[in-house]
Amino acid sequence: MPNLDELMKMAQEAQAKLMQAHEGLDKVEVEGASGGGLVKVRASAKGQILGIDIDESLLQPSEKNMVEDLVAAAINDARAKADEAAKGAMADVTGGLQLPPGFKMPF
């Protein structure tokens, strides 16, 4: 059985790995789409919106409400994919240890 010093060292190493994985999430990009790809949103795995692409066919005043709905749907799709990418990256570091919902690392 490990002694207290060994446990503390293991905890510090785990926290350092988690911090490194968390920082790496900025480099992971996901793309959300809606309207059959007419609206696309690129985001980081942390959920930061990096770009939006709207097909020119939607850029007409009569399509305003539909474009707004499609942008919102694409953002939500990108956010869901960002959450999954972050969850996957963190699972790699935690060895599959299930953390409670909303649990943020590092402390």
Q: Is residue 1 part of a domain?
A: no
Q: Is residue 79 part of a domain?
A: yes
Q: In what order do the strands lie in the sheet with 49-54?
A: 29-34, 39-44, 49-54
pLDDT for 7-22, tens place per residue? Answer: 888 878 878 887 777 7
> Is residue 3 classed as helix, strand or coil in its secondary structure?
coil
Domain count along the chain: 1
For residue 51, which amino acid is it? G
Q: Say if pTM beats, i.e. exceeds, 0.85.
A: no
Written as six digits, the tokens of 3 are: 């002694």
For residue 85, which amino acid is it? A
Give the domain range for residue 56. 31-90
pLDDT for 45-67, tens place per residue? Answer: 887 888 999 999 989 999 999 99
d(CA 36, CA 76): 15
Q: Is residue 77 part of a domain?
A: yes
Q: Is residue 51 part of a domain?
A: yes
Q: Is residue 40 part of a domain?
A: yes
